[in-house]
Structure 1
Amino acid sequence: MMIQIGWCAGMQQAGMLAEAKLDYIECPLSSLPLEGNEAALAEQLASYAESAIPVRAMNLFAPGDMRLVGPDTDPDRFRRYAYKAGEAASKIGAKVVVLGSGGARKVPDAWEHQRAEQQLLGCLSFIAEEWRGTGVTLALEPLNRKETNLINSVSEAVRLTAQINDPAIRVLADFYHMEEENEPLSTLMTYKDWIVHIHIADTGRLAPGTGVYPYEEFMATVAAMGYKGMISAECGRWPESDEALHDSIAFMTAMRDRITDMARTKSSGHA
């Protein structure tokens, strides 16, 4: 199976991304009315399922007012939401749902860090049980310290995920956050069996191919991992023009082809 490339965007960009020949779109889960009217949810799910480009991944797991750790959690609400999230993602055809949600998992100043970890582990454990058999995997995303104070590296995410030890819970690696935290790309190789999804950007969290991120090293590492999952561009803002978008997608396509060639060379014993 070849690596698929996609872009994190709203459904309003689906047609444009389909025309640009991307493999999929990654949409925000929290934009679905999972806590609202069932008819509205059914209508939106139908529109996602009929999208011009497949919705293979979803991000922005938690609504803005949901807390996963700290004194203001609402476990019953979380369980209802998480169950419906897995059900909705499965109906849409998404394979991965990303749990970033830095605000939802930020540990309050007066709260013990270890206690917050246990709360998050409880959330992950519930998802592992409820999503089993849906075909949807939750990818825990490390975020840089400017966005949250809980899980800031791939190694930390793997440490928590390993405690759940269920194939429904895996880890996302984000090139931008790794750069912000000075986490070496070799970490990807170390934890290759845990990584189910990858996000990329470039300098300033702009479109891939526009900055000075070490993409040659990234491509070599991903090839060495034997990674065959999805890679989504997740940028701080939309490219400034259609031409800029197409240039970045061309960069990502060439990146994917180069990773494939590197992996093929390695497997044939000529590396």
Structure 2
Amino acid sequence: MLKFAANISFLWKDLALPNRVRAAAAAGFDAVEVLFPYDTPAPELKRALDQTGLPLALINCPPPNYTGGERGFAAVPGQEDRFRTDFRRALRYAQALGAGHLHVMSGPAEGSEAETCLIANLQWACDFAPDHSLTIEPINPHDMPGYFLNDFDQAARVIDAVDRANLGLQFDAYHAQRITGDALACWAAHGHRARHVQIADHPGRHEPGSGEIDFPSFFAALVADGYDGWISAEYAPAADVEAGLGWLAEVARG
């Protein structure tokens, strides 16, 4: 059975973060994820999670919010100390809230030295937090120019080189479509590495069914492959959030 989470960094932006958790529960989601929750005191967010019974599927590392700054340091040579400091802080927050996955962002870099740096930092992080699931996510270069991890084959190579059981792939169907032109074929090639999935249609990054990705076939592929992790709705609503949730009701109907 497919399990859906709401990315409340994208959805219900007009509400305070704890109230977005409550809105996600009311809309029928089974979990939430938050990209950068660090501006909200952990006890406030934990209270909303406990009240609704929704687990927190994932948060991003590093803190705080990347607005105006770099989007990670894991692949940036010379920033190893900064990476470790940020990782420790993010891990404490993730543990306080029971976040299932911690997404490690690579940041702006290029070349073989950056890949070597990323592998070493991920090995350190996996060993520092052996009981916590870590993910890396290819992000398309159109939406995030200069971001180091921008290719699924590259991500597979890094995961294999890190060689730790608590590191896996974060598979975003929108990024897969924009990077490769075929999200389903990309899943067929790399889905076996995935421990977290995110969805948005392409183009536009709106609700499933608004663009060119064949989501019924995509969801069927996840079921056929035995994927049992979260599927997070990480999209920009075309209009009202609730008005755009027809896709979720359709999946629930089977």
TM-score (norm 2): 0.81
The question of whether the paired residues in 2 share the 8 Å contact of 1:3 and 1:231 is answered with yes
Is the Cα–Cα contact under 8 Å of residues 33 and 57 in structure 2 kept in the other structure? yes
Cα distance in 2 between the residues matched to 1:225 and 1:186: 13
Once the two structures are superposed, what CA deviation does each residue of 1:77-110 show, in whole Å capped at 9, x if it has no partner?
32122123223213312211223x4xx6222xxx
Q: Give me the whole-angstrom Cα distance separating, in 1, the residues matched to 2:42 and 2:177.
A: 39
CA distance in 2, matches of 1:15, 1:223: 28
Who is 1:265 aligned against?
Answer: none
Structure 1 residue 9 corresponds to structure 2 residue 8: yes
Separation (CA, whole Å) in 2 of partners of 1:91 and 1:201: 29
User: For 1:92 and 1:138, how far apart are their aligned partners in 2?
Assistant: 15
CA distance in 2, matches of 1:18, 1:190: 33
Give 2:192's aligned residue: 193
CA contact (8 A) 2:138 2:152 kept: yes
Match of 2:157 in 1: 159
- Kindly indicate whether the alpha-carbon contact (under 8 Å) linking 2:37 and 2:59 is maintained by their aligned counterparts in 1: no
CA distance in 1, matches of 2:218, 2:148: 25
What is the DSSP-based 3-state SS (H/G/I as helix, E as strand, rest coil) of the residue aligned with 2:107? coil
Distance (Å, rounded) in 1 between the aligned partners of 2:211 and 2:97: 34
Structure 1 residue 53 displacement after superposition:
4.8
8 Å CA contact 2:120, 2:162 repeated in 1: no
SS in 2 for 1:31: coil
Larger Rg: 1
- Residues 154, 171 of structure 1: 8 Å contact kept: no
Q: Secondary structure at the match of 1:125?
A: helix
Distance 1:17 1:81, change over 3 A: same
Q: CA RMSD in A?
A: 2.5
> Structure 2: which amino acid aligns with 1:32?
Y
* Structure 1 residue 125 corresponds to structure 2 residue 127: no
Contact 2:27 2:242 in 1 (8 A): no
Q: Which residue does the alignment assign to 2:217? A: 217
8 A contact 2:137–2:169 mirrored in 1? yes
Other structure's SS at 1:196 match: strand
Q: Distance in 2 between matches of 1:174 and 1:232?
A: 9
Contact 1:124 1:164 in 2 (8 A): yes
Amino acid paired to 1:92: L
Q: Give TM-score scaled by structure 1 length.
A: 0.76
**Count of equivalent residues:** 236
